[in-house]
Amino acid sequence: MQKYKLVFLLFIAIRCTFFNAYSQETNGKIPISENKVFIDGEKYYIHIVKQGETIFSLCKAYNISQNVLEQNNPEIINGLKENVSLKIPIIDRTATASEEIMEHTVKQGETVYSIAKLYNIGVNTIYENNPEAEENIFPGQKLKIIKSLYLSYNRIEEDEDNIYHRVEIGETAYSVARRYGLKVKDIKDYNSTIDLQQLHVGQIITIPKQEIELIENQPGTYDDHFYYLKIKQQQTLYAISKRFKISIKDIKKANPELKNRELIAGETIRVPILNEFIFTEINRLKERDIEEFEEDSIQEIIILDSASYPCRNYDYRTKPGPFNIGLFLPLYGIINDTLDLSIDKKDRELRIYHRSKVFVEFYQGVLLALEELKKENILLNLHLFDTNNDTLLTSQIVESEKFKKLDLIIGPVYANNIELVAKKAKENKISLVSPLLNYNDFIQDNLYAFQVNPTSEIKRDYWLNMILSQKLENIIIIHDGNNFERDFSKKFKSRYFKSIVNRIEENNVFYKEHLYFNSEDTLIRESMIKGLKNTIIIPSTDQAYVSDIMSKLNTLAKEFDITVYGMDVWVKYSNIELEYFHNLNTHLFANSFIDYNDYNVNQFIREYRKYFHAEPGKFSFQAYDITYYFVKALQMFGKEFRFCLEDFNPELLETNFRFKRYNYTDGFINNLLFTIVYQPDYTRKVIY
């Protein structure tokens, strides 16, 4: 937030020209600011937020939509704060109906979508009046906007009894209700002829003023600063702080009466809205009423958060008996002739069914982790369940008494089995870890589920943020036009130009995007600029395609300053010379990295060779880390360890984990990624 304030002041000092103040206008409540400025040729009010002002009251005072206010002041999405300066566009409201067309000058970083959102009109409406925009838009371009639509959609109308709300782009019945502190059913009562499931832009919704006044500060409602929460039996400040991802200190600051006493069941407290997490969850539940949300979706979390997992109070020494660990793997024991380790290594490999080889390797990594944990005096029983990737067999396993006594489950590794096992694990309150899948449907509505592999969306966002955090001078995106690569390019372009709008030092960045096909050497060379840092982004997983581009770029490495950003799978490509990676200062994102100079890694390799007469592969390292991490968590925090992992970082071999819930009713996904940098001196550096 400090960064945004600083940038805004720089714009005022460098690029804004003040002009004489107009006579003060007023709407009867909030006086219109006399402070008016030009910013990039556009006129704005500079409004200082005062105590008691809300987004709704500001929109009403300045006769603009909430979307327009948020577009110009993105920081208010997390709530208004006193004494913050807001930019409010000055719109000429005197235009007549005959003055139907207005011009919008495209600014750097704007897209057709963002312009449509700014004026609360459809993207297709812009395309209809500006056909050339369908191909591309560029800074300085003039776009025609239908002024009558823009003005009508932004106007807030009311009379003595009601507010007449015009539906804006992207609004739902729930978002309208939230804006005025109402429930959807309240809006429905006063708009019985409207289908609230299918609202249309420009449609009028009646908002009764008396209802707004009646529910003010009532449990289950919101204003711009607080959510009003009714306290239930046994609910604690700790549970509430975890639920809303805010500190106990912030809750007490909003409720001074709690400084010297505990919560009382039935009372209503203020929960400061310091983030959008709770709104994300409510939007996911869509039109469900807020009380229903509290009763059903959060009930189990409140119980767990308040009483069932005292992280620092668990004492492993009081546990009666060993931990029971269930390992679900498709080892195909019926098909495999033998896993006897006494026979010759080559003969053994020939006799192991090919589909089970990587899982045998995984199993061996698990065994070494358990051996290490036993040295730490942790009592363990391993229950190996050979699923054969057979859902019928797996169904029989999860109904057994042995299954119900498990403390932790690792696996299964295939999607068709994990849904089944995850459901039963939830019923029996057993934590389940998916070690290999990118598939994450099984964690939905399951607090006991963990996914080790980050999702594709998490990886993409990390890669975008990693690149955008660098100083960029000449950006070149190279792709072959497939859907994933084209979508990534669009997202990068949008995010990048939005990010530099307020960064004066990067206003002269060069940006190029190329559809590249084999042997187009000239295209690559012509894109380079001597004296600047050339950032090459290649969002491709096609091994032959990447190999061709990297070989072409390597021939230019001595002539130009080049940094390449590539995908995580590139580390597996054997047909790309390692020298190319180092010459091109290649940056790859990853969630695992084996440092063969590390003592623990070498100790693991020695133990693996000793017990299994073979070299460990990626799956054995991964199995060791997963097993050690979760069993160690069991020892330290007990079966409810899943809420105690925020600062839990045991020493592992190739990775670590940072688990996060993206919805409060769902399980946990690992979102820890890092960057591997191939340096010119032929060393590799890991950046977290």
Whether 649 has a pLDDT exceeding 90, the answer reads no
Token couple for 136 = 């591309």
Does pLDDT of 433 surpass 60? Answer: yes
Q: Which of 160-174, 225-239, 335-349 has the lowest mean pLDDT?
A: 335-349
Higher pLDDT, 468 or 1: 468
Closest CA to 300 of 226, 357, 243: 243
Calpha distance 671→463 (Å, rounded): 12
Task: For residue 258, name the pLDDT band (cuts at 50, 70, 90).
Answer: low
Give the best-scoring range by mean pLDDT among 216-225, 282-291, 346-355, 678-687: 678-687
* Predicted pLDDT of residue 367: 96
What pLDDT is stored for residue 204 in this prediction?
80
pLDDT tops 60 at residue 271:
yes
pTM of structure: 0.57
pLDDT exceeds cutoff 80 at 134: no
pLDDT for the residue 20: 28
Which helix (H) or strand (E) covers residue 552, if one does? helix 543-554
Average pLDDT, the chain: 76
Give me the mean pLDDT over the 394-415 stretch: 93
pLDDT digits (tens, 9 = 90+) for 523-557: 788 889 999 999 999 998 888 889 989 999 999 99
pLDDT for the residue numbered 47: 86
Sheet containing strand 36-39, edge to edge, reads 16-18, 36-39, 42-48, 85-89
At 52 the pLDDT is: 80
* pLDDT top residue among 377 and 231: 377
| Residue 596, token pair as written in the block | 């063969």
141: DSSP letter: -
Please tell me the predicted confidence (pLDDT) of residue 345.
52
**Cα(121)–Cα(202) distance, integer angstroms:** 9
- For residue 366, what pLDDT is reported? 96
Q: In the chain, what is the straight-line distance between the N-terminal and C-terminal CA atoms, in Å? A: 23
More confident position, 260 or 160: 160
What's the Cα-to-Cα distance from 440 to each of 203, 543, 655, rounded to whole Å? 38, 26, 20
- Give the model confidence (pLDDT) of 2-61 as tens digits: 333 333 222 222 223 222 222 223 344 688 887 776 554 456 788 888 888 888 788 878
C-alpha to C-alpha distance for 623 and 653, rounded to whole angstroms: 10
Higher pLDDT, 242 or 538: 538
* Least confident residue range of 56-70, 353-367, 465-479, 500-514: 500-514
pLDDT of residue 679: 93
pLDDT > 60? residue 311: yes
Q: What was the pLDDT predicted at 157?
A: 59
